[in-house]
Amino acid sequence: MTLKLVKQFSTKTELVYHSLLEAIIANQLRPGTRLIVKDVAEQLQVSEIPVREALKLLEATGLIDTTPYVGAVVTTPSPEWIEEVFVMRAALESMAIRTAVPLMDETDVKRLMNVDSEIKDAARRGDVTEYSRLNRIFHRALIAKTPYPNLAKTIDDLLMKSQYGRAIFGLKPETVKVSDAEHDELLRAVLDGDAEAAARVTRNHRLRVGRQLSATIRELGLYHEPQDSATPRKRESRSNA
């Protein structure tokens, strides 16, 4: 296991979290890999405290499981878990953008267009990591003007839980073209001030990504049922059945 420190974040916990996250999504840390706190701390040249904090955050995303006497192990969220999270995001993000579009001004629209331009540039370069980062910025900017802060916070929590969704761009590069077309449709709706159209495109976009990612996980055999039936993942899988 070789980890690379991601440097554009302010706290050591954020540094460790995003360094591990990038390695998991890039499949450099494969499902089943044990994350030993001491080893991670040594590789990233930090103390063990931010590593433990980062692992707690990663557990909330569903990308790792922590069990007694075993520790943290890289996993892949089940297809059902992924699809459920994206169904929730589809409903909430479409609601948020419906309330945000009428409040956007020229500065907000210009920022969206600039980020979209950067996204297209990353796609041309084949830079999946940068494309994914900018994609998150784009979708956060779309709902930034919602007058409901608790709605925005709930969406942000779900975004953290669905970080593995970023892997779709690496696992299925052809999805970039589809996402770009949906971004163009979203921008047209925003420019027209058509909140209902923006909400519809957002909902369809999220549902498509969820279905496609869950299908890809099944197709590539990335998900393996946990051996210990008492693990949180097993309970979640049953509750989603």
Query: For residue range 107-142, what is the model confidence (pLDDT) as tens digits?
Result: 999 999 999 999 999 999 988 878 888 998 999 999
Q: Is residue 54 part of a domain?
A: yes
Same domain, 91 and 199: yes
Look at the chain and report how many structural domains it folds into.
Answer: 2
Task: Give the pLDDT score at 133.
Answer: 85
Pair 185, 212 in one domain: yes
Q: Do 165 and 177 reside in the same domain of the chain?
A: yes
Query: pLDDT, tens digit, for every residue of 40-93?
Result: 999 999 999 999 999 999 998 888 999 888 899 998 889 999 999 999 999 999
- Residues 52, 138 within the same domain: no
- For residue 5, the model assigns a pLDDT of 63
Percentage of residues of the chain with pLDDT beyond 90: 60
Do residues 100 and 121 share a domain? yes
Q: What is the CATH number of the domain that holds 52?
A: 1.10.10.10
- Say yes or no to pLDDT of 94 above 90: yes
Q: What is the mean pLDDT of the chain?
A: 87
Residue 34 falls within a domain, yes or no?
yes
Domain that holds residue 117: 79-219
Clarify whether residues 86 and 200 are in a common domain: yes
Confirm whether 5 is domain-assigned: no
Least reliable range by pLDDT among 75-79, 141-145, 186-190, 193-197: 75-79
Tell me, yes or no, whether 120 and 67 share the same domain. no
Residue 169: its pLDDT value, please? 80
Indicate if 100 and 179 belong to the same structural domain: yes
State which of 75, 100, 129 marks the end of a domain: 75
* pLDDT value of position 231: 38
Considering the domain architecture, whether residues 36 and 91 belong to the same structural domain is answered as: no
Name which residue leads in pLDDT, 164 or 81: 81
Q: What average pLDDT does this structure show over 171-184?
A: 89
DSSP result, the chain? -------S-SSHHHHHHHHHHHHHHTTSS-TT-EE-HHHHHHHHT--HHHHHHHHHHHHHHTSEEEETTTEEEE----HHHHHHHHHHHHHHHHHHHHHHGGG--HHHHHHHHHHHHHHHHHHHHT-HHHHHHHHHHHHHHHHTT-S-HHHHHHHHHHHHHTGGGGGHHHH-TTHHHHHHHHHHHHHHHHHTT-HHHHHHHHHHHHHHHHHHHHHHHHHHT-----S-TTSHHHHHHHHT-
Mean pLDDT within 202-216:
94
Averaged over 183-194, what is the pLDDT?
Answer: 96
Specify whether 28 is located in the same domain as 113.
Answer: no
**Average pLDDT of span 213-220:** 89
Predicted local confidence at residue 60, as pLDDT: 86
Model pLDDT, residue 233: 45
Look at residue 228 and tell me whether its pLDDT is greater than 60. no
Together in a domain, 70 and 83:
no
* Co-location of 207 and 129 in the same domain: yes
